[in-house]
């Protein structure tokens, strides 16, 4: 990993796109500053302390720097390694947040308590209004009706999917079925491991990776493994055995041979589209989202934010670093106020909840793009 860090030539092209550097103008809060810190910690030149933990922990892992780096430095992997080195300095709040958010049973319990106890006007209260406890367990195998089966795909549900995004999971399934695909949802799958990897718990992240690779391998031959959350997708794309088959659901649906089988009813509304940084910078799937939405006749589409720009949600940042997250969210919220859209669409659940918590949401529906697409889908 030190050899990978040495590829950074300190050119500074990453500075303009780094959200934490833009807020602080402090070199250590820049990508090249953090890379230098990981090098020094790895080589024993610096001792781990609270400041080194804060420098590495405050990175949002938007990976915009990685997308523009001329030396192809694997910044995301370096940050995971750096956070492993400073994990001993994690506070109890961070450990608890990672443990709860990556474990379905614990998260459901916490969400039930929070939904009942927290005022809906608070940011976290607004987020918890989106939880759904009555969503049925998805069928393990769904087959298309009334159309010829053209292939078979696996659907990754993630640890938050059934709780926060069950409607999007069902929408993705409906779109895939209409396109002629069997949809396999392995029961044995687990959290993608992103929270643990980014939190420095490499051992648990590796265990979750192994569980998921075994689960999807046991599902038989699959043309692709699709995911609906770009944060999960960015992690799955790095799996040794599964990564080559992974596709973001919109990128899969936007393929010519797939999208040609989908037709949509007109909708004379305006949609503000947020393209998450993980979708743009890691999965390079932003254009696919727009291509799909453009298939809905009459729908006006406005992209919110610059390409690859982070809204501040950044995994646990919206919970653990709310001040920083709020500052980075403000330009997006301001633009939403100017547009007055009927829908705000984002394919990352954290981003969507974060934007909704800070925006004037009167009369606005926040949803995953596939939810709107499935809503307008002409079936049959």
Q: What is the CATH number of the domain that holds 14?
A: 1.10.1060.10
Q: What's the rounded Cα separation, in Å, for the pair 325 and 68?
A: 23
Calculate what percentage of the chain has a pLDDT beyond 70.
88
Number of domains in the chain: 2
Residue 58 domain flag: yes
Please report, for the domain that includes residue 372, its CATH number.
3.40.50
> Is residue 126 domain-resident?
no
pLDDT value of residue 3: 79
**Residue at 178 is within a domain:** no
Would 357 be classed as within a structural domain?
yes
Q: CA 254 to CA 277: how far, in whole Å? A: 19
Q: 160 lies in a domain?
A: no
In contact, 210 and 263? CB cutoff 8 Å? no
Of 128-137, 153-162, 240-249, 272-281, which gets the smallest average pLDDT?
Answer: 128-137
Give pLDDT tens digits for 278-288. 999 999 999 99
CB-side neighbour CA atoms (13 Å) of 60: 32
Average pLDDT score over the chain = 88
DSSP letter (8 states) at residue 89: G
Report d(CA 268, CA 243) in Å as an integer: 38
Residues near 248 by Cβ (< 8 Å), separated by ≥ 6?
A: 226, 227, 230, 233, 279, 283, 285, 288, 347
208 contacts 232 by C-beta, under 8 angstroms: no
Which residue, 39, 58, 89, sits at the end of a domain?
A: 89
Question: Among residues 33, 66, 89, which one ends one of the domains?
Answer: 89
Residue 152 lies in a domain: no
Residue 148, classified by CB atoms within 10 Å of its CB into exposed (0-12), middle (13-18) or buried (19+), is: exposed
Is 193 among the domain residues?
Answer: no
Residue linked to tokens 């939190």: 199
- Listed residues 42, 61, 89: the one ending a domain: 89
Q: Say which residues have a Cβ less than 8 Å from residue 223's Cβ, sequence separation at least 6.
A: 151, 152, 153, 181, 245
The answer to whether residue 271 sits within a structural domain is yes
* Residue numbers of the domain that contains 59: 2-89
Question: Predicted confidence band at 345 (pLDDT cuts at 50, 70, 90)?
Answer: very high
Confidence of residue 30 (pLDDT cuts 50, 70, 90): very high
pLDDT digits (tens, 9 = 90+) for 133-189: 555 566 788 888 877 889 999 999 987 666 678 889 999 999 999 999 999 999 889
Q: Pairing relation of β-strands 141-142 and 151-156?
A: unpaired
- Token pair for residue 35? 């890379």
């Amino acid at each position: 990993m030190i050899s990978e860090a040495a590829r950074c030539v300190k050119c500074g092209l990453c500075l303009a796109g780094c959200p934490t550097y833009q807020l602080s103008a402090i070199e250590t809060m820049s990508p090249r500053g953090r890379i230098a810190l990981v090098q020094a910690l790895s080589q024993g030149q610096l001792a781990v302390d609270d400041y080194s933990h804060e420098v590495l922990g405050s990175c949002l892992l938007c990976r915009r720097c990685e997308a523009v780096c001329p030396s192809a430095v694997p910044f995301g992997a370096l940050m995971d390694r750096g956070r492993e080195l400073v994990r001993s300095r994690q506070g109890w709040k961070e450990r608890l947040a990672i443990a709860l958010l990556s474990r379905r049973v614990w998260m459901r319990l916490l969400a039930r308590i929070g939904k009942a106890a927290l005022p809906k006007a608070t940011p976290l209260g607004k987020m918890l209004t989106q939880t759904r406890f009555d969503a049925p367990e998805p069928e393990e195998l769904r087959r298309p009706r009334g159309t010829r089966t053209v292939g078979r795909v696996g659907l990754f549900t993630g640890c938050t999917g059934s709780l926060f995004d069950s409607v999007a999971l069902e929408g993705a399934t409906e779109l895939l079925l209409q396109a002629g695909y069997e949809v396999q949802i392995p029961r044995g799958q687990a959290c993608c491991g992103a929270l643990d990897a980014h939190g420095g718990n490499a051992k648990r992240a590796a265990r979750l990776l192994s569980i998921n690779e075994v689960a999807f391998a046991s599902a038989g031959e699959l043309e692709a493994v699709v995911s609906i959350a770009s944060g999960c997708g960015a992690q799955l794309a790095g799996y040794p055995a599964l990564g080559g088959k992974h596709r973001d659901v919109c990128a899969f649906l936007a393929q010519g041979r797939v999208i040609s089988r989908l037709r949509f009813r007109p909708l004379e509304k305006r949609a503000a589209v947020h393209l998450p940084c993980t979708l743009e910078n890691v999965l390079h799937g932003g254009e696919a989202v727009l291509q799909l939405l453009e298939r809905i006749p009459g729908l006006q589409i406005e992209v919110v934010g610059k390409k690859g720009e982070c809204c501040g949600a950044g995994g646990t940042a919206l919970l653990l670093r709310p001040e920083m997250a709020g500052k980075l969210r403000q330009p997006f919220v301001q633009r939403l106020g100017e547009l007055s859209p009927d829908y705000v669409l984002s394919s990352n659940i954290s981003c969507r909840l974060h934007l909704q918590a800070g925006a004037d949401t009167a009369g606005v529906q926040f949803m995953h793009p596939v939810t709107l697409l499935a809503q307008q889908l002409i079936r049959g």
